Amino acid sequence: DIQMTQSPSSLSASVGDRVTITCRASQSISSYLNWYQHKAGKAPKLLIYTASNLQSGVPSRFSGSGSGTDFTLTISSLQPEDFATYYCQQSYSTPRFGQGTKVEIK
């Protein structure tokens, strides 16, 4: 059973900041890693799939990188609408999500 560990669990940042969230898999998952944005009471939104591919319609300030066990989601310039919780999810085997990273306003 592949475990996903995200860090940090929360962070405070200001509009315009560069934000980086990391996700580590307990074993290699190649590039089978997706990232989602979730705002309370709303449907989660796919941002990045297979580690580095930007989902259609997602702003280019979002990017993903990594392979094997270590992955990163980067927001190059944080916007007001980006304050949310972000989840990684492995699709290599039984789908499993990380614990989430809550991005809050500083």
The binding site for another protein (CB under 8 A) comprises 32, 34, 36, 41-46, 49-50, 55, 87, 89, 91-92, 94-100
Select 17 or 68, whichever has its Cβ closest to another protein.
68
Select 55 or 67, whichever has its Cβ closest to another protein.
55
Q: How far is the CB of 52 from another protein (least distance, A)?
A: 13
Q: How far is the CB of 101 from another protein (least distance, A)?
A: 11
Q: Residue 91 CB: number of other CB atoms within 10 A?
A: 15
Select 17 or 54, whichever has its Cβ closest to another protein.
54
Select 24 or 45, whichever has its Cβ closest to another protein.
45
Contact between residue 34 and residue 50 where contact means Cβ atoms under 8 Å apart:
yes
Q: How far is the CB of 16 from another protein (least distance, A)?
A: 29
Q: How far is CA 15 from CA 43, 46, 51, 86, 98, in A?
A: 23, 22, 25, 17, 25
Backbone angles phi, psi at 31, to 5 degrees: -110, 20
Whole-number Å distance between alpha carbons of 44 and 28:
25
Whole-number Å distance between alpha carbons of 51 and 94:
17
Q: How far is the CB of 25 from another protein (least distance, A)?
A: 15
